[in-house]
Amino acid sequence: MREAAFVRQNKDKWAAFENALINKVREGNNHIIRYKAFLTLSYLKNQNEFDSTEKLVKFLDVENQNEIFTYLENKLKADQLAAR
């Protein structure tokens, strides 16, 4: 299944997931959890501005669980600097 078809097929699930993350951000008092949720939501809302899913999968690592968040953070910072 192609990525676009997968996203369309699971659109309602994505919305539910996004709402659950937003609720966790609002409830949480832990800055790290809130920041990781922010990075995840930034990716979900702007997927076309990030590398392909295949490239992102390499950042999902059991040994280094923060690598994907480091990538997302660096990408957002680079985009913010470029926008200036």
Q: 3-39, pLDDT tens digit by residue?
A: 778 778 888 887 887 888 777 767 766 778 778 888 8
Q: Could you give the maximum distance between any two Cα atoms of the chain, in Å?
A: 38
Whole-structure pTM over 0.85, yes or no? no
What crossing angle do the helices spanning 31-45 and 67-83 adopt, rounded to 10°? 60
41, with CB counted inside 10 A (0-12, 13-18, 19+), is middle
